[in-house]
Amino acid sequence: MAEYLISEAALERNARVLREVGDAAGAKMLVALKAFAGVAGLHCLREFADGACASGLYEAKLAAEHLGGHIAVYAPAYTKRDLLELLEFAHHIDFNSLPQWERVRKMCMRHPRAVHGLLHFGLRVNPCHSTGRTPLYDPCTPGSRLGVPVADLDKAAPVGISGIHIHTLCEQNAPDLVETMEELEAQSSMLLNSSEVRYLNLGGGHWITMPEYKRETLIALVKRLKENYGVDVYLEPGEAWCIRTGVLRARVLDVFESMGYRHAILDVSVTAHMPDVLEMPYRPDVFCLMNTASDATVGKAPSVQLPGEYYHLAGEAGQQAYTYRLGAPTCLAGDVLGDFSFPRMLNVGDILVMDDMTHYTIVKSTHFNGVPHPDICMLGVDGVRRCVRHFDYRDFADRLG
């Protein structure tokens, strides 16, 4: 049975880094639940996070139940029903357009929690300055629906708005944020200087837990923004909490040759269980479980390993002796992980491990083609592996109505 295996120790390792950076910068560090919302893992982050960034009512409710702390919500639009519920417990609600804010402004501002200063409202602003490489993940791309273009804003904050929210990055380093902020400040320093504006939310996409991330640059930027504008600064990374904390373990179901290619069919689907591999797209590291320590790759192992297991890192096509096209047991022709090479032939029953599969995987997975959904397992800090969710036929059938 395939499984996502997530390490509590690795989640805690990342969480400590984010807490340290948050403390050094004086920034509030939120967990963006859109990246990872597994209740069994959130308890590892709770102690280190200031709260959560929610993409709407459901994530906000999950945050209230399982993470606690500050709840910042942003969605491109809200239904009135969801908004009425959010007003009861969220702390920041950020809006995407001025027309929506105008439609709900009175209702929001009259709410007792807003009157008593427990709830604030913000506006997502689009700095219209791209620093990313992937258009799919670039909210500053021309024609974007995400945020009010900075040039469309007056110099003062709209009535009732006390927060500015920007989110422009994806897997990026601090200098990109510095560049974006400088651009925003050049166009809207009056807005940021407005005495109404009390918080600045710098969104996600900060790769803070990667070794190459320039943490000191981020810390200096946050300090400068706080000092210049007298605002509270919020960061809401998702991926950074989860980098190198989980793997997807799959089995080889069949191997065969066709039209000059060796194929291995796995018991997982790329589109259903690792969709970002196709959407982004990217090529994950793949490891093959080996029998002996001498077959293992030196210096390179999956993010999460079970005791007594040895892994060999697969190479590019042709790099090692046996190249296979790793594919899914579905009807979609393109449901393929890619061509990977191994030092030995693959056999039915072999275990392959796809690395770095916590963020934006489980939250996006589906039951496409009725392929059995991988279990979700946690590797505890005590070294014990626990299955926290097993999916069966009923999960597939019940969800589809």
Ligand X SMILES: Cc1ncc(COP(=O)(O)O)c(C=O)c1O
Binding site for ligand X (CB under 6 A): 32, 34-35, 53, 74, 167, 170, 203-205, 236-240
Question: CB of 355: closest distance to ligand X in angstroms?
Answer: 17
DSSP letter for 64, please.
H
Please identify, using beta-carbon distances, which residue of 133 and 386 lies nearer to ligand X.
133
Question: CB of 40: closest distance to ligand X in angstroms?
Answer: 19
Question: CB of 95: closest distance to ligand X in angstroms?
Answer: 12
Please identify, using beta-carbon distances, which residue of 74 and 368 lies nearer to ligand X.
74
Burial class (CB in 10 A: 0-12, 13-18, 19+), 63: buried
Backbone angles phi, psi at 245, to 5 degrees: -120, -10
115 and 154 Cβ atoms separated by less than 8 Å: no
Please identify, using beta-carbon distances, which residue of 50 and 239 lies nearer to ligand X.
239
Please identify, using beta-carbon distances, which residue of 3 and 171 lies nearer to ligand X.
171
Distances (CA, A) of 49 to 38, 45, 69, 107, 275: 15, 6, 8, 30, 27
DSSP labels, 146-214 = SSEEGGGS-SSPPTT--EEE----SSB-HHHHHHHHHHHHHHHHHHHH-TT--EEE--S-B-TTSTT--
Please identify, using beta-carbon distances, which residue of 51 and 372 lies nearer to ligand X.
51
215 and 21 Cβ atoms separated by less than 8 Å: yes
Question: CB of 297: closest distance to ligand X in angstroms?
Answer: 29
How many residues are recorded in the chain?
401
Question: CB of 75: closest distance to ligand X in angstroms?
Answer: 9
DSSP letter for 343, please.
S
Q: Quote the CA–CA distance of 11 and 244 in Å, as a whole number.
A: 8
Question: CB of 352: closest distance to ligand X in angstroms?
Answer: 26
Strands 351-355 and 246-258: antiparallel
Q: What is the amino acid identity at position 214?
A: K
Question: CB of 53: closest distance to ligand X in angstroms?
Answer: 5
Tokens 């807490």, residue located = 19
Backbone angles phi, psi at 337, to 5 degrees: -80, -30
Q: Quote the CA–CA distance of 261 and 256 in Å, as a whole number.
A: 8
Please identify, using beta-carbon distances, which residue of 160 and 237 lies nearer to ligand X.
237
Question: CB of 240: closest distance to ligand X in angstroms?
Answer: 6
Please identify, using beta-carbon distances, which residue of 146 and 317 lies nearer to ligand X.
146
State the residue number with the nearest CB to ligand X.
204
Please identify, using beta-carbon distances, which residue of 29 and 108 lies nearer to ligand X.
29
